[in-house]
Structure 1
Amino acid sequence: MDFSFNETQTMLREQLSRYLRERYDFVTRQEMLALPGGRDPGVWKAFAQELGILGAAFPEVHGGLGGGAVEHMVIMEELGRAIAVEPYLETCIVGGAALLAAGGDERQALIPGIIAGDVIIAFAWAEPKSRYNPARIETRATADGAGWTLSGHKSVVIAAPYATHYLVTARTGGSLGEAEGVSLFLLDAASRGITRRDYPTVDGWMASELYLENARAGPQALLGAEGAALPLIDELLDRAAAATCAEAAGAMRRLHELTLDYAKQRQQFGQPIAKFQVIQHRLVDMLMEVEQAVSMSYQATLRLDLPAPERARAVSQAKAKIAKGARALGQAAIQIHGGIGITQELAAGHYFKRLTMLESRYGDQDHHLARLEAMMLAEAA
């Protein structure tokens, strides 16, 4: 199979890589994290206005460049290399796919705002007891004459502190765990009845606990058919998991490079530790994990537009393998660096923290292995 990128995709990678290398280095990232809100909003505007990458995967009819999942993968790899705290996954991948799938002029009118950098979407799907199951939600939405009223608690909503809109899953029918009755809503962040508890995550991102207390939303807030959103939500989660795989592959490659450079500089017994055979073996093992992560990320990305069973199988295979590989690589990197590897001053520890978060984001290894097992048993039956 040909895995080479076309001219546009190559240019997209090079353009973003150059920007991040020159204007988003580790020191600059640390300074951004110390700002109010934990980020520099100017970077997101630069993504939109200087680089034009926010529209890379949107159809041309909406002002985009007409790309797709591969463009998302290219961008996420580069963001992973820089461990950038920018909400591309939540806004362009998840939010964009939801708006395109829902249709309707009023909803899709938000897409030019995403491309321009004015709209940021946070995906509020997880709950304290949901454990990666989008049907196991307690948030409820009730219809009335003027629209919808939502009540519930959404946990660890990444990018919520600075989002303009929330993509929220809620029950309009059925009971806990049932496939029927799950709906998807797009709420304005300023909607009455929404409160937040903001906090930083261990890897530097900002997240929130969202509390919806009779939050009001108009009739246009419902995306798709009432009570039938679970297949779309499953697709959004698979696309998010595939993007997470690409981000992890980029972060793993950069952490391997940092570890190799350190091993060449660190002196022990009068020579660089990179000359010790045990360290060389460990570095080769790390490189193998990187290459396998890239290959699995490609596999998942190229199958995102296939029927749901094939898509789910490819995504779970990739996520399970990369979750395991990211942990092994991260631990090896810290061991080679020694105690300095977990200090705030060295980049390696920050990559390790990000990989630790990505390992469980949108499903950890155990979850995706169990999902694969369930699919295999269903096929056998």
Structure 2
Amino acid sequence: MNFQLSEEQQMLADSAKRFVRDHFVKSSDVEKHRQNKKLMPLDQATWQQFAELGWLAVPFDEQHGGLGMGVLETMVLLEALGEGLIMAPYIATVVLGGGFLRRASAEQQAQTLPALVEGKRQLAFAAEEYERVFSLENTAMTARVNGSEIVLDGTKACVMNGDQADQLIVLARTAGQPGDRGGLSLFLVDANADGVERLAHRTVDGRQGAEIRFNNVTVPETACIGALGDGYALAHTVLMEGLLALSAESVGSLSVLLNETVEYSKTRKQFGLPIGKFQALQFRMADMFIAMEQTRSLLLAATLKTAEGHDDAAFAVHAMKAQLGRAGRKIAQEAIQIHGGMGMTDELGVGHYVKRLSAADGLFGNADVHLAALART
């Protein structure tokens, strides 16, 4: 495997790192946002800058205004953005939403992709449900065929960017029972359609999402992405890309936790010496480094296998997500403890990175869920 970035990939990484340096989210700003009783909408100027930089166009074909890149470039971009806790719905809109639209009909693409690339449209993938361990086949929300229309009923929980999305991609069951892979369908739904109720909430890391209720929401058959009842394979493919993107962003955050902990150990003194001189703490930071490198290696392997279409790509993605949960907890806990009392405060950036990693672990199944999926695979 070639781990050397191409010239285009390196330029993309450099531009993202410059953006992070110029727009780094300060700890005080994150805390102010978290404590604010009112939910704060996305800074449209920042999202528009994403469009101007070409980042919203990364995975799309040139005929839709895209750059024709793939999962490797997405990984490079999101790892850099993860270093700065940039709170933008890139994964929800471009990776997940855009992933479905890249595989949608020509008419659906023409109606949505140009606006998405220009930063004028946002998307959200509504898949998770209450009282169910997350997996696509556990979907219980119903989609009833009524002539040439589909009627959606049910509730989706913890929808990333669900509060601000213009359109929703909804996974619902047109046949079968929860646990069946057959009978699942995907629908492109106007977020402001009659019968759609959005209850916005803030996540533990300061970002926003929504519980979305569908009460007899009617959409035409043409709103279906792919074949009716055959949505599992498509949803699984896009979800794997979404998990890779989420993992790449988290690896960027993990690298910051490791680096800030090492730097802190060089300046914090105890008994007249920097605490980094004590062998016990050196061992712990060495363990953090090993966990970090294991996670980064799995991310690279899973991304390359997905990009090259290997048969065991899904196996590698499940392993990546399971490792991310375990390594994230290990590195986060060590970072907080080595920082001592300061690690528990909201004024220090460490706590905010830890919250982001905690939220990422629980999204679309935690480490235990993916370890079980890994065993089944």
With the shorter chain as reference, the TM-score category is: over 0.9
Where do 5+ consecutive residues of structure 2 fail to align? none
Shift of 1:145: 4.0
Asked if the contact 1:241–1:363 (Cα under 8 Å) also holds between the matched residues in 2, the reply is: no
Match of 2:46 in 1: 43
Report whether the alignment pairs 1:329 with 2:360: no
Over residues 271-328 of structure 1, what are the superposed CA-to-partner deviations in whole Å (9 max), with x where a residue is unaligned?
2211211122222221222222111111111122455851211111111122211110
Matching residue's letter, 2:15: Q
Match of 1:261 in 2: 263
The percent identity for this pair of structures is 36
Pairs within 5 Å for 1:44-59: 44-49=47-52, 51-59=53-61
Separation of aligned partners in 1, 2:93 and 2:184: 21
Shift of 1:219: 2.7
Matching residue's letter, 1:301: T
Match of 2:18 in 1: 18
Match of 2:276 in 1: 274
Separation of aligned partners in 2, 1:156 and 1:253: 27
Where do 5+ consecutive residues of structure 1 fail to align? 376-381
Shift of 1:363: 2.2
Match of 1:178 in 2: 180
Separation of aligned partners in 1, 2:214 and 2:346: 36
TM-score w.r.t. the length of structure 2 is 0.94
Report SS of the residue matched to 1:183.
Answer: strand
Separation of aligned partners in 2, 1:257 and 1:311: 30
Separation of aligned partners in 2, 1:315 and 1:278: 34
Separation of aligned partners in 1, 2:308 and 2:369: 22
The Cα RMSD (Å) is 1.8
Q: Quick check: 30-39 or 149-158, which moved more? A: 30-39
Separation of aligned partners in 1, 2:311 and 2:214: 33
Match of 1:86 in 2: 88
Over residues 189-209 of structure 1, what are the superposed CA-to-partner deviations in whole Å (9 max), with x where a residue is unaligned?
111101111111111111111
Match of 1:379 in 2: none
Shift of 1:109: 2.9
Separation of aligned partners in 2, 1:90 and 1:372: 24
Asked if the contact 1:38–1:204 (Cα under 8 Å) also holds between the matched residues in 2, the reply is: no
Matching residue's letter, 1:258: E
Match of 2:374 in 1: 372
User: Quick one: higher RCO (CA 8 Å, sep 6+), 1 or 2?
Assistant: 2
Shift of 1:108: 3.9
Separation of aligned partners in 2, 1:69 and 1:195: 33
Report SS of the residue matched to 1:109.
Answer: helix
Match of 1:212 in 2: 214
Separation of aligned partners in 1, 2:284 and 2:74: 31
Q: Quick check: 76-85 or 181-190, which moved more? A: 76-85
Shift of 1:89: 0.8
Separation of aligned partners in 2, 1:305 and 1:225: 24
Separation of aligned partners in 1, 2:352 and 2:361: 14
Report SS of the residue matched to 1:359.
Answer: helix
Over residues 95-144 of structure 1, what are the superposed CA-to-partner deviations in whole Å (9 max), with x where a residue is unaligned?
11111112222334311111111111111101013312212122111223
Match of 1:8 in 2: 8
Separation of aligned partners in 2, 1:29 and 1:173: 47
Shift of 1:374: 1.4
Report whether the alignment pairs 1:63 with 2:80: no
Shift of 1:353: 0.8
Over residues 160-204 of structure 1, what are the superposed CA-to-partner deviations in whole Å (9 max), with x where a residue is unaligned?
111111111001111221111100011111111011111111111
Pairs within 5 Å for 1:112-127: 112-127=114-129
Change (3 A) 1:244 1:106: closer
TM-score w.r.t. the length of structure 1 is 0.93
Separation of aligned partners in 2, 1:59 and 1:107: 11
Shift of 1:18: 0.4
Matching residue's letter, 2:305: R
Report SS of the residue matched to 1:303.
Answer: helix
Report SS of the residue matched to 1:155.
Answer: strand
Report whether the alignment pairs 1:283 with 2:285: yes
Pairs within 5 Å for 1:93-132: 93-132=95-134
Separation of aligned partners in 2, 1:54 and 1:321: 28
Change (3 A) 1:38 1:271: farther
Change (3 A) 1:106 1:57: closer
Matching residue's letter, 2:286: V
